[in-house]
Each structure stands twice: as C-alpha cells, then as structure tokens.
C-alpha cells in the first residue's frame, strides 16, 4: 500500500476579491460595515479573515462554501488602511495566507497633529 502525503496548500484566489462598503465612503466611520467576497479552493474548511493586523478584529461569514463573504463593523480603535488577512487551511493541515487591501476605503477619523 502506497501512502500519499498531501503537501499542497489551498489556494486563495485573490483575483476574485470583491470589496464592499457604503457607496461613496472613503473614510469609514465607527459602525460602518465593510465586506470582502473571496474564493478559496482546495479545502472545505472556512477560512479565517482578520483586519487591522489581527488586533481582535475578526470578520464573520455565514457561508459554508466558497466563495465566502466576510463582513466587519468598524470599531472606535480602528484607524488606517483596511487590509484583510485571509488564512486558509485544508484538512491535511496545509496553510496559506494572503493580504488584500481595499484601496477605496480607510477607517477612522482624520486627526491633525
């Protein structure tokens, strides 16, 4: 019997990314919602998406299969670029990560120093 080891990670299809938020919003206010729709292949496990360097900010999805739509509500301590960190893992434990920036939006109030 030949045992085959799965070493191929899932694929995050970055070209499929769709960013959403309120129309015309460039700087997202506290309470504003942003979302990312992304396709992930090679796994049936739901990926994890965080924002703002993972500082307790996890986007949520109701999806159970790709493509997934993740939604996040901007919090008072969220400032700067809206960058999504997508982490996907397959059933064999192979992992992959991608960073995607919503270049049309940022978060927080502009402050003068």
pLDDT attached to residue 70: 95
pLDDT attached to residue 56: 67
Q: Mean pLDDT over all residues of the chain?
A: 89
pLDDT attached to residue 26: 87
pLDDT attached to residue 63: 86
Question: Distances from the Cα of 76 to the Cαs of 24, 39, 48, 73, in angstroms?
Answer: 20, 29, 22, 10
Tell the burial category of 75 from Cβ atoms under 10 Å away from its Cβ (0-12, 13-18, 19+). Answer: middle
Cα distance between residue 50 and residue 36, in whole Å: 11
Q: Which CATH class is domain 11-104?
A: mainly beta
The pLDDT tens digits for 22-74 are 877 789 999 999 999 999 999 999 999 999 887 768 889 988 899 999 999 99
pLDDT attached to residue 83: 94
């Amino acid at each position: 019997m030949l045992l085959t080891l799965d070493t191929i990670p899932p694929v995050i299809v970055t070209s499929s990314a769709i960013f959403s938020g309120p129309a015309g919003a460039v700087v997202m206010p506290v309470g504003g919602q942003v979302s990312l729709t992304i396709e992930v292949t090679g796994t049936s496990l739901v990926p994890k998406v965080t924002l703002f360097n993972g500082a307790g900010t996890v986007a949520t999805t109701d999806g159970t299969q790709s493509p997934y739509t993740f939604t996040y509500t901007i919090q008072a301590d969220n400032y700067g670029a809206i960058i999504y960190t997508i982490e996907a893992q397959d059933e064999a434990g192979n992992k992959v990560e991608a960073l995607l920036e919503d270049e049309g939006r940022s978060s927080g109030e502009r402050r003068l120093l």
